[in-house]
Amino acid sequence: MERVYNFSAGPSALPEEVLKQAAEEMLNYQGSGMSVMEMSHRSPVYDKIIKETEENLRKLMNIPENYAVLFLQGGASLQFSMVPINLLTRDKKAAYIDTGVWSTKAIKEAQKIGETLILASSRDKKYSYIPEVQNIPQDIEYLHITTNNTIYGTRYTSLPKTDAAIVADASSNILSEPVDINKFGIYYAGAQKNLGPAGVTIVIIRKDLIGREPENTPTMLAYKTHAEKNSLFNTPPCYNIYMVGLVLKWLQKQGGVEAIYQRNLEKASIIYDFLDNSELFTTMAEKKDRSIMNVVFFLPTEELTKKFLDEAAKNGLVNLKGHRDIGGLRASIYNAMPVEGVKKLVEFMKKFEKENRR
């Protein structure tokens, strides 16, 4: 079977070049005589891989010296716990904005640790927009947001105004658009959408937020543990970090974040322009808050939705089923999805509309 255009929300498509390079280096990484999977995380060869990966991420995102970059495990989901465990210490408060399932999960973990304010929610309209927040309290330790809402196809285009540290779950849009990291206290993302295979989580954290955890915090759950040892306190997810490194080099070759952002805008507008003019397909997310990573759309009946998925798959366009919470269809078009894949999808949608319009 040929490779398909894979619109999966996560784990998702990786650049073909990256997979080929990984395959080439699988048995013998750069003359070391072994696979990256087989080498000691304390060897000089591996040390170079993890250091280069961090340096390249710092360059691509302009991460200043007063931020640490950590490579952790446990996914974005462990960050839902680690953030409050480290920052929401006794008598303190944290604030959250609820923009969907992932935010809700983050809120639930914070509530186990300390006083958690929910400042706004878009639940009233099935999370189809990013809610405005006024009057953010002064006495909060941090404000948590989800910068891109993978399930509903919404994203933040401007940040809430607060002096508190903004903690962002950027799992589904890290490196898809330029961000000023100085505006965040913590910026975290599981790798499996835009960065590499599942298994490593990137945590970019302002250094003054490290070391605030209570004394009885389990060692592995304290940011300090990992920051002090440059993510080598214990065995890190070595191979995944290597893969992230390859993806970052690929991204540099594409021209960096600004260039990929322009390409992402182009890809998103190809689909949204078609959807906005369609007499068959509908959308849900408010236009001003539309994600450029996850495009959510619908057909009028379950029957047509099923037919669409079947026929799309026969045309090499796969994983277009919407999340089970809202149904419908979703095209995830992360950095690695080429423009041609999106064009092919829209051509297919046009044909489908012609054949199925009443």
Residues that constitute the known binding site for L-glutamate? 42
Query: Residues 86 to 105: which contact ligand PLP by CB under 6 A?
Result: 102
Task: Count CA atoms within 13 Å of residue 206 on its CB side.
Answer: 16
54 in contact with ligand PLP (CB under 6 A): no
**Binding residue positions for pyridoxal 5'-phosphate:** 76-77, 102, 150, 169, 192, 234-235
Peptide bond into 197 cis (omega under 30): no
Q: Which range in 14-22, 167-175, 176-184, 259-267 contacts ligand PLP by CB under 6 A?
A: 167-175
Rounded Cα distance, 173 and 193, in Å:
8
- 122 vs 274, beta carbon nearer ligand PLP: 122
Q: Which range in 25-33, 73-81, 111-119, 176-184 contacts ligand PLP by CB under 6 A?
A: 73-81
The answer to whether residue 169 is catalytic is yes
Q: How far is CA 285 from CA 20, 157, 268, in A?
A: 36, 13, 13
The answer to whether residue 102 is catalytic is yes
Rounded Cα distance, 278 and 61, in Å:
37
325-349 burial: b if 16+ Cβ within 10 Å, else e = ebebbbbbbbbbbbeebbebbbebb
* Residue whose pair of structure tokens reads 């040892």 in the numeric block: 229
- 81 vs 86, beta carbon nearer ligand PLP: 81
Q: How far is CA 154 from CA 17, 83, 289, 291, 356, in A?
A: 29, 23, 5, 4, 28
Site string for ligand PLP, 169-188 (x = CB under 6 A): x-xx----------------
11 in contact with ligand PLP (CB under 6 A): no
Site string for ligand PLP, 189-208 (x = CB under 6 A): -x------------------
Rounded Cα distance, 171 and 147, in Å:
8
- Neighbouring-strand partners of residue 19: none
Rounded Cα distance, 57 and 64, in Å:
11
Q: Which range in 74-82, 156-164, 253-261, 337-345 contacts ligand PLP by CB under 6 A?
A: 74-82
Q: What is the DSSP letter of 334?
A: -
The answer to whether residue 47 is catalytic is no
Task: Single out the catalytic residue among 102, 250, 267, 321.
Answer: 102
- Minimum distance, C-beta of residue 295 to ligand PLP, in the bound complex (Å): 14
The residue count of the chain comes to 358
Binding ligand PLP (rule: CB under 6 A), the pick from 12, 18, 36, 75 is 75
150 in contact with ligand PLP (CB under 6 A): yes
- 142 vs 348, beta carbon nearer ligand PLP: 142
Distant-in-sequence, close-in-space partners of 344: CB < 8 Å, separation ≥ 6: 5, 315, 316, 317
77 in contact with ligand PLP (CB under 6 A): yes
160 in contact with ligand PLP (CB under 6 A): no
- Minimum distance, C-beta of residue 290 to ligand PLP, in the bound complex (Å): 16
Rounded Cα distance, 55 and 241, in Å:
12
User: Could you list the residues that contact ligand PLP (CB under 6 A)?
Assistant: 10, 75-77, 102, 146, 150, 169, 171-172, 190
Catalytic positions, please? 102, 169, 193
